[in-house]
Structure 1
Amino acid sequence: MICTKCNSEIPEGEQCLHHGKMLCEDCYLEVLEPPRTCDVAAVYGAKLARKMAGQEGSDGLTELQKNIYNYINETGSVTAEQIMNKFNLSKLQLERNFAVLRHCELAHGFIENGKKMIKVWGEDTLGKMNIAD
């Protein structure tokens, strides 16, 4: 059986039916629980957990998240497309990793000249936005 969303083969017994479409588990979870970057409870939880663990900066991030954070930090303002191209990521992969950076208040989205951009977290966090919008 083939996933109607990502076209990957679904092992027997692992298919999920959602609104008449046959999905693999990954696509099914994405439909039910998409990444949410602007989540007050997640930000509070992430900041508290990092504080209790003594983590600062990129401490506690995966290698990919550290690389994305360092790329944004070194480059300045970047688009989601630049990050996806640099690290060969799908939109979903970027959104999942960006959500972690956003919840840890390490990066945020903003609009510049009508274009959605991402930069490291700073004092000028007005205009925060979800990159998936």
Structure 2
Amino acid sequence: MVCQKCNAAIPAGEEVKHRGQTLCEDCYVEALEPPRSCDVAAVYSAKSARKAAGQEGTDGLTDLQKDLYNYVQAEGPVTHDQIMQKLSISRLQLEKNFAVLRHCELLRAFRENGQVFITIWTEGGPGEMQLTDR
């Protein structure tokens, strides 16, 4: 069986029906709880956990999250399309990893002239927004 959203093979008996689609577990979880970049509780938790672990900057991030941060730091502000093309990642991968970086207050998104940009976190910058706002 194949997931109707991501086209991944689903082992027999592990498929999930959701709104008329057959999904793998990852796509089902995403459908129920999509990544949320603006989440006060998640920001508090991420900042507290990083502080307790003595982490600063890109300490404790995955390689992809570090690549995303470093690309935005070097080239930013950039659009999500630029990031997806440069890092060869899907929109879902970008949204999940951006949410982590946003919760750590390392990156943020803003809208300018109707376009969404990702940039390095700064206090008091242009109005924040979720990556998926349009």
TM-score (norm 1): 0.95
Distance 1:25 1:106 in 2: 29
Distance 2:129 2:26 in 1: 25
Kindly provide the amino acid, as one letter, of the partner of residue 11 in structure 2: P
Describe how 1:38-117 pairs up with structure 2 within 5 A: 38-117=38-117
Unaligned stretches of 5+ residues in structure 1: none
User: Which is worse superposed, 14-23 or 90-99?
Assistant: 14-23
SS in structure 2 at match of 1:81: helix
SS in structure 2 at match of 1:86: helix
Identity percentage of aligned residues = 62
SS in structure 2 at match of 1:73: helix
* Matched pairs, number: 133
Describe how 1:6-25 pairs up with structure 2 within 5 A: 6-25=6-25
Equivalent pair of 1:108/1:125 in contact (CA under 8 Å): no
SS in structure 1 at match of 2:7: coil
Distance 1:3 1:76 in 2: 35
**What root-mean-square deviation, in Å, do the aligned CA atoms of Structure 1 and Structure 2 show?**
1.1
SS in structure 1 at match of 2:129: coil
Q: 1:7 offset after TM fit, Å? A: 2.5
Q: Which runs of 4+ in 1 moved over 6 A?
A: none
Distance 1:8 1:58 in 2: 31
Give CA deviations for 1:45-92 in whole Å, capped at 9, x if unaligned: 000111111111111111110111011011120001111001100000
Unaligned stretches of 5+ residues in structure 2: none
Distance 2:17 2:87 in 1: 32
TM-score (norm 2): 0.94
SS in structure 1 at match of 2:9: coil
**Residue in structure 2 matched with residue 26 of structure 1 by the alignment:** 26
SS in structure 2 at match of 1:51: helix
